[in-house]
């Protein structure tokens, strides 16, 4: 697995690199200190996951996220010192596959990294418990629908999902309709939180597995 870490604090990059290497030694890590460098790196090789600090010297916030999404299809997880709810919502809605605040406890941080390395999505706990309890009885998603949801939460566009699952884009759209209705949600963030709440992550990781 190849991971690109984009952060302007070299010490922090070192910390994450060492931690991830201890957790999964076979992972290959590269780093970039700015958006420019990141784009250069992306042009040199394919990565499976991007870890992005959204406060870079040459780009900030959701703008950085959008620039990277245009370059590359890999899921992007935001790791940032800012844990304001609005910032998190903005990033998820812009297609981030997860958000790990830098202030997270070391243990929770390790779990978060584990989830993210396994292609799952991660949201900090304080984002999950606050969302309105919508009408959620039992949710019955088919295998295909789960797959589509998982890839959506990873931040992939409909086109990419369609290509990966080898079906028409229209089919993907139809699946998403059904999934959103079943979960009773209106946005990516809500879908992510709902999936988390219902413990779909377990079955999602299995489906993607």
Minimum gap (Å) between residue 135 Cβ and other proteins: 7
CA gyration radius for the chain? Answer: 17
CB of 177 to other proteins, least distance (A): 5
Which lies closer to other proteins via its Cβ, residue 42 or residue 53? 53
Helix (H, G, I), strand (E, B) or coil at 56: strand
Spell out a b/e string for 6-43, using b for 16 or more CB atoms within 10 Å of the CB, else e. Answer: bbbeeeebeebbeebeeeeeeeebbbbbbbebbbebbe
Distances (CA, A) of 57 to 19, 81, 90, 199: 25, 14, 20, 37
CB of 31 to other proteins, least distance (A): 13
For the bound state, the minimum distance from the C-beta of residue 108 to other proteins, rounded and expressed in Å, comes to 11
Identity of the residue, 1 or 173, whose beta carbon is nearer to other proteins in the bound complex: 173
Q: Name the residue nearer to other proteins (CB basis): 44 or 70.
A: 70
Cβ nearer to other proteins, comparing 74 with 183: 183
Which H or E run contains 98? strand 98-101
**Toward other proteins, which CB reaches closer, 42 or 180?**
180
Q: Where on the chain is the footprint of other proteins (CB under 8 A)?
A: 9, 11-12, 14-16, 18-19, 21-23, 55, 81, 85, 102-103, 105-107, 109-110, 126, 129-130, 132, 134-135, 158, 168-171, 173-174, 176-181, 184-186
Which of 102, 200, 181, 39 is CA-nearest to residue 208?
A: 200
**What residue has token string 């250069």?**
40
Instruction: In angstroms, give the least distance from the CB of 25 to other proteins.
Output: 11
């Amino acid at each position: 697995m190849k991971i690109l870490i984009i952060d302007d604090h070299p010490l922090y990059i070192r910390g994450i690199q060492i931690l991830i290497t201890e957790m999964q030694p076979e992972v290959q890590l590269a780093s970039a200190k700015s958006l420019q460098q990141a784009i250069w790196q992306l042009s040199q090789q394919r990565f499976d996951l991007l870890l992005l600090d959204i406060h870079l010297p040459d780009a900030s916030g959701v703008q950085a996220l959008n620039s990277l999404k245009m370059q590359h299809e890999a899921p992007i997880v935001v790791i940032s010192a800012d844990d304001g709810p609005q910032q998190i919502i903005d990033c998820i809605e812009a297609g981030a596959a997860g958000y790990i605040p830098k202030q997270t406890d070391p243990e929770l941080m390790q779990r978060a990294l584990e989830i993210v390395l396994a292609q799952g999505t991660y949201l900090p706990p304080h984002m999950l418990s606050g969302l309105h309890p919508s009408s959620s009885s039992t949710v019955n998603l088919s295998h295909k629908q789960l797959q589509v949801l998982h890839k959506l939460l990873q931040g992939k566009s409909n086109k990419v999902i369609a290509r990966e699952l080898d079906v028409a884009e229209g089919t993907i759209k139809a699946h998403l309709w059904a999934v959103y209705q079943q979960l009773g949600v209106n946005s990516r963030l809500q879908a992510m939180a709902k999936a988390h709440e219902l413990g779909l992550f377990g079955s999602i990781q299995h489906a993607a597995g």
